[in-house]
Amino acid sequence: MACVRPFRLSDYAKAADLLQDVLSEACFEETIEAFGRQLSWDSELVLVATEGQEIVGVIIGTIDDNDGYFYRIAVARPYQRKGIGRSLIAELGKRFARREVRKVWVTLDNHNESFLPFYESLGFGSMDFLRSVKRLRIVNG
């Protein structure tokens, strides 16, 4: 079973490799930029799932105006459909709860619209999705 833990600076190369492997090129370019910004603002909202020494999952969250956002999630292909994404979302959800965010949103864009059924299976409804037609700008305020 994978272990979910906070991101460490030493994870950067492996996490970036995972994102590049799993995401489309355009999605990776947007995500890696947001990933760097989020790490500089609040690295506690970036989590990794590990299997031994290997990083098998990454989730990037952010908080803006007291709302929490699941921005991007990626799980290595051999580990997909094994509950790792659910574990990452659950742990980030706990971090949002500890910070008393008023609302948790799932950001959807043209890169991750296909994840809608996955989030719905976790209990998120139509009012929990924030659809972004342009690049999401991660900000903390």
pLDDT at 134 > cutoff 60: no
What proportion of the chain, given as a percentage, has pLDDT over 90?
70
Instruction: Find the distance separating the first CA and the last CA of the chain, reported in whole Å.
Output: 36
pLDDT digits 0-9 by tens, 90-99 = 999 999 999 9
For residues 114-134, one letter each, b for 16 or more C-beta atoms within 10 angstroms of the residue's C-beta and e for the rest, the string is ebeebbeeeebeeeebeeeee
pLDDT digits 0-9 by tens, 34-57 = 999 999 999 999 999 999 999 999
The structural domains of the chain, ordered by start, are 3-131 (3.40.630.30)
Query: Residue 25 class from Cβ within 10 Å (0-12 exposed, 13-18 middle, 19+ buried)?
Result: exposed
pTM metric for this prediction:
0.86
Greatest alpha-carbon pair distance for the chain in Å reads 38
Query: Residue 21 class from Cβ within 10 Å (0-12 exposed, 13-18 middle, 19+ buried)?
Result: exposed
Q: To the nearest whole number, what is the mean pLDDT of the chain?
A: 89
pLDDT at 118 > cutoff 90: no
